[in-house]
Amino acid sequence: MPPKYTFGKSDGDLSNQQWFHSGMETHGSAILINNKYPEGKSLGIMKNNKSKTHGCEHAEDVFIRTIKGDTGSLSVSPAVNKVILCISKSSCSSTYGTSNKPVGCAEELINFQNNIYKAPINGNEYIFKVIVLARGVYKQSTGSHNALDLMRDNGIDVATDVHRKKDGSSMKKEYDMEI
């Protein structure tokens, strides 16, 4: 039975179909690691969403909204909340023209990580460290590769599956990271 989504989020598990063959739609899963959840807490799976409440959102937008809406699971500053986002395609970028949004997902993730989030409900401040694991590079475009570099240059750990040629050599640049 396919997962039931509410505003682009589901508590189900990411299926192989979503991970490998998501077409134009990006799917992702998220894990929170902090002093409350040192072994990690699943935040569910996310996908693109279009609603009257939230407008048009990409999976990364749903990811950020989900985390900001779950402050009870977060550790208050100065503790760092490490969030791992596994997505079927790399993030779009308004800087490199791979997004039709005013602010692309790469830039949204950079802003999310590099600016302390002050929750409007409780006034607490939260710090995030973002790790992105992308199954593939969106359209294998130069702009998509530049967006990955932009995220890395701004402190986000990024890794992609490396698609290989028949001879075993890498098709694109490999990204190393430490978790």
Decide which of 88 and 129 is more confident. 129
CATH number of residue 149's parent domain = 3.40.140.10
Domain ranges, residue 64: 9-160
Q: ∠ CA 64-65-67 to the nearest 5 degrees? A: 65
pLDDT, tens digit (0-9, with 9 covering 90-100), for 80-103: 999 999 998 899 999 998 888 899
Looking at the domain assignment, is residue 171 inside a domain? no
111 lies in a domain? yes
Q: What is the pTM of this model?
A: 0.78
Task: From 173, 127, 168, 124, select the one nearest 152 (Cα to Cα).
Answer: 173
**In DSSP terms, which residues pair with 50 in a beta bridge?**
56
Compute the distance between CA of residue 126 and CA of residue 153 in angstroms, rounded to an integer.
22
In a domain, 25, yes or no: yes
Predicted pLDDT at 71:
93
- What phi and psi, each to the nearest 5 degrees, are found at residue 86? -100, 115
**Stronger pLDDT, 20 or 38, i.e. the higher one:** 38
Determine, yes or no, domain membership for 170. Answer: no
Number of domains in the chain: 1
Could you tell me if residue 169 is inside a domain?
no
CA distance 150 to 3: 33
Residue 35 lies in a domain: yes
DSSP 38-88: TT-EEEEEEE-EEETTTEEE-HHHHHHHHHHT-GGGSPPTTSEEEEEEEES
* Within a domain: 101: yes
Q: Residue 116: pLDDT above 80?
A: yes
pLDDT in tens, 144-165: 999 999 999 999 999 987 555 5
Q: Which of the two residues, 52 and 34, has the higher pLDDT score? A: 34
Structural domain includes residue 178: no
pLDDT band at 137 (very low <50, low <70, confident <90, very high): confident
